[in-house]
């Protein structure tokens, strides 16, 4: 796993669900297709336990959409389109 950014994934381009509802956060470019890595840390324990049912630490996933809220953000993946996960549990792959 080279080129891993250990910081939480970028939420740039996600849908703003709070201030400018429905617009893109800090960019007009959708995050679709962006690759992220599951860190299996950060967030609440129950969130990590839920995520662990779907993937293991180090799993590379493809972003479908990011939802940027007031006090938190979630990400939906191409591989798991009906589930959302806390963005702090992932880092950008590049």
pLDDT above 90 (res 15): yes
Rounded Cα distance between 9 and 24, Å, is: 16
- Token pair in block for residue 55: 């993937």
Per-residue pLDDT tens digits for 20-73: 888 999 999 999 999 999 999 999 999 999 999 999 999 999 999 999 999 999
Nearest Cα to 74, choosing from 61, 86, 64, 63? 86
pTM: 0.90
User: What are the residues facing 19 on neighbouring strands?
Assistant: none
């Amino acid at each position: 796993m080279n080129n891993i950014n250990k910081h939480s994934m970028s939420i740039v381009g996600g849908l703003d669900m709070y201030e400018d509802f429905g617009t893109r956060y800090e960019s007009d470019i959708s995050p679709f297709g962006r690759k992220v890595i599951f860190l299996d840390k950060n967030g609440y324990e129950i969130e990590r336990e839920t995520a662990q049912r779907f993937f293991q630490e180090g799993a590379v996933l493809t972003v479908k959409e990011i939802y940027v809220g007031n006090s938190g953000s979630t990400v939906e993946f191409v591989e798991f389109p009906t589930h959302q996960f806390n963005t702090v549990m992932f880092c950008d792959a590049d």
